[in-house]
Copies of this chain bind each other. A is one copy, B any other.
């Protein structure tokens, strides 16, 4: 029966005071030398930097945060009940964000909460000084989070758009443009009956994609019923297979557009089980989400792709948010540029200039 001994894990950090003692300089000078101020001589600065390295000095972030009144962190808070949580797109954007924040020496603090807790969480993290600003995603019409953040004048950036997106900074991929272009190209190649296998239109990005495809019809003077829409409903594993089977029951269909690479890969199995052959009597085009667990390389030569790298979205989100945090200029939106890769015989001249286009020969 004895008392808790020492834990043995007291790491004693080397502080600016240790450097000061070691070098016989004031802590002011140490601080200013390390932070690149001009009122310290080159020789002294060199000495300080050397000693800092030698002694393994790392400034205490919490002291910095306290005195500068900046957390050097951004917050990302998700509703924990949401289906969205597991969306693989999220992970890709997340990866892009994590990579980009390092360029600003920022950290990311992540939290989840019940739908009703979200706004109090935003409030707390800011009052806390845990966080300088927020990333949010999947904005909904009249999103209460956006109401709050705008009203409280807290820096934030949104992945996606809704009605008042001119009021805040956002980043989005050009869902409308991507699918308008893809559809236009297929129509330009002579297809008059096209299937569009889309995601769940509960999500606004799916709605945008469908609208883009339909806009192409109008532009190319085709009747609305030239495009048949098939919507996957969440949860949607294997929807691509089933919807493709359904689409192929219509013999007039000569082309299929997929809204995601997963569905395209699944669809391929259904096509192989049918009498059709990709690239011969069936033209396939798809959005390639570039998710790491979906390999489309075996299809590269047989089908066409539009792409809009989600990692770039993550990078852009961070850049936009940093502008907001530093209060630079008016909030602006950023559309991630798309790329398109076309099969040989498709009409590349129909692709607008804002796209980077590549064509296999």
Contact = CB atoms under 8 A, between A and B. Distances in A.
Interface of A: 7-9, 11, 13, 56, 58-63, 65-66, 71, 73, 78, 80, 83, 85-88, 90-92, 95, 98-99, 101-102, 107-113, 124, 126-130, 153, 155, 234-238, 241-242, 262, 265-266, 268-269, 273, 291-295, 327
Nearest to A263: B237
Nearest to A4: B327
A8 B350 CA distance: 47
Given A110-B109, A111-B108, A293-B237, A91 B86 contact: yes
A127 B56 contact: yes
A250 to B, nearest CB: 20
Given A237-B266, A293-B236, A88 B85 contact: no
Contact of A73 (B60, B109, B126): B109
3 nearest A-B pairs in the assembled complex, by CB-CB distance: A58-B127, A98-B112, A62-B65
Contacts of A59: 128
A293 B83 contact: yes
Given A107-B111, A107-B130, A295 B62 contact: no
Contacts of A124: 58
Contact of A86 (B92, B111, B268, B327): B92
Contacts of A95: 80, 85, 112
A269 B242 contact: yes
Nearest to A297: B235
27 contacts: A8-B153, A9-B327, A56-B127, A60-B66, A60-B128, A60-B129, A62-B62, A62-B66, A65-B65, A78-B98, A80-B95, A80-B99, A83-B293, A85-B292, A86-B292, A86-B293, A87-B293, A88-B88, A91-B91, A102-B111, A102-B113, A235-B292, A235-B293, A237-B262, A237-B265, A237-B293, A238-B266
Given A86-B88, A127-B13, A269-B238, A63 B66 contact: yes
A5 to B, nearest CB: 10
Contacts of A7: 327
B83 A98 contact: no
A274 B98 CA distance: 46
A220 to B, nearest CB: 32
Given A66-B66, A269-B242, A58 B128 contact: yes
B99 A112 contact: yes
Contacts of A85: 91, 95, 292
Nearest to A68: B62
B269 A237 contact: no
Contact of A153 (B9, B13, B65, B293): B9
Given A11-B126, A91-B86, A295-B235, A109 B107 contact: yes
Given A83-B292, A238-B266, A273-B273, 16 more contacts: A9-B155, A11-B127, A58-B124, A59-B128, A60-B66, A60-B129, A80-B98, A85-B91, A86-B91, A86-B92, A87-B293, A107-B109, A109-B110, A236-B293, A237-B265, A242-B269
